[in-house]
């Protein structure tokens, strides 16, 4: 089954024939897709699990591919799924030393400077959804899915602004609402009157 979503035309929609690159919607949730589609002046049709009942959770593919030049008000196709974002399991690194004639010969050579160590970047966990605000201590926030004391970064997907806070409270709502911010920190992302903004939470 497939579902087509028609977005309201932006207040100052362009009538030019200019083409724009197709945004990358892969891994975005419904709120983020809606916001990006509205901003890019595009319509979209979904296909895949959950598309006919609007219960899909994220995008796993798109037609045309990200970066393809398309005209505003085009309809793009998004492959969606109801499955959550997979958690990558990293096996411990194993090092093996092969002692053959070559390595034994090298071992007899004068010692060389130790090789520079390259730091391995830790994998980043993330979840996309919407953020709202309530009267709370600046620098602290509430979620329903992270342990207390977790420091998170919250990125406003509309403007790219990022704030940081520590989880010290539990959020009553679940699902697509991923974080409740203090009013002072929400104001760093968007005006309080907006109420909710699409965000990406990383930790």
Look up the CATH number of the domain holding residue 57: 3.30.10.20
pLDDT at 40: 81
| 3-state per-residue secondary structure call for the chain | CEEEECCCCCCCCCCCCCCEECCCCCCCCHHHHHHHHHHHCCEEEEECCCCCCCCCCEEEEEECCCCCEECCCCEEEEEEECCCCCCCCCCCCCCCCCCCHHHHHHHCCCCCCCCCCCCCCCCCCEEEEEEEEECCCCCEEEECCCCCCCEEEEEECCCCCEEEEEEEEECCCCCCEEEEEEHHHHHHHCCHHHCCEEEEEEC
111, part of any domain: no
Per-residue pLDDT at 141 exceeds 60: yes
Stretch among 43-47, 105-109, 150-154 having the lowest mean pLDDT: 105-109
Same structural domain for residues 69 and 10? yes
106, part of any domain: no
Q: How confident is the model over 108-131, as a mean pLDDT? A: 68
What is the number of domains present in the chain?
2
**Which of 81, 102, 118 represents a domain boundary (last residue)?**
81
**Which of 51, 81, 111 represents a domain boundary (last residue)?**
81
Same structural domain for residues 10 and 77? yes
The angle at the Cα of 199, spanning 196 to 200, to the nearest 5 degrees, equals 160
Q: How confident is the model over 144-149, as a mean pLDDT? A: 93
Q: How confident is the model over 94-101, as a mean pLDDT? A: 47
89, part of any domain: no
pLDDT at 150: 94
109, part of any domain: no
Look up the CATH number of the domain holding residue 189: 2.40.40.10
59, part of any domain: yes
188, part of any domain: yes
Confidence of residue 39 (pLDDT cuts 50, 70, 90): confident
93, part of any domain: no
Per-residue pLDDT at 106 exceeds 60: no
Same structural domain for residues 11 and 67? yes
**Which of 52, 81, 110 represents a domain boundary (last residue)?**
81
178, part of any domain: yes
Question: CA-to-CA distance for 122 and 65, rounded, in angstroms?
Answer: 28
Q: By residue range, what is the domain housing residue 53?
A: 2-81
């Amino acid at each position: 089954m497939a579902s087509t979503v028609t977005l309201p035309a932006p207040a100052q929609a362009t009538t030019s024939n200019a083409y724009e690159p197709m945004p990358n919607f892969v891994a975005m949730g419904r709120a983020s897709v809606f916001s990006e589609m509205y901003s890019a002046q595009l319509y979209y049709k979904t296909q895949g699990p959950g598309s006919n009942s609007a219960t899909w959770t994220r995008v796993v593919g798109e037609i045309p591919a990200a970066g393809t030049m398309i005209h505003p008000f085009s309809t793009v196709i998004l492959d969606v799924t109801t499955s959550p974002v997979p958690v990558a399991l990293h096996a411990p690194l194993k090092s093996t030393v092969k002692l053959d004639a070559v390595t034994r010969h090298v071992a007899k050579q004068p010692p060389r400077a130790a090789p520079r160590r390259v730091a391995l970047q830790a994998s980043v966990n993330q979840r996309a959804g919407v953020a709202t605000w309530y009267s709370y201590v600046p620098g602290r926030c509430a979620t329903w899915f992270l342990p207390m004391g977790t420091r998170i970064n919250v990125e406003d997907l509309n403007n790219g602004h990022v704030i940081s806070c520590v989880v010290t409270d539990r959020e009553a709502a679940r699902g697509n609402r991923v974080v409740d911010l203090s009013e002072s920190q929400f104001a760093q992302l968007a005006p309080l009157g907006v109420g909710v903004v699409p965000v990406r939470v990383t930790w």
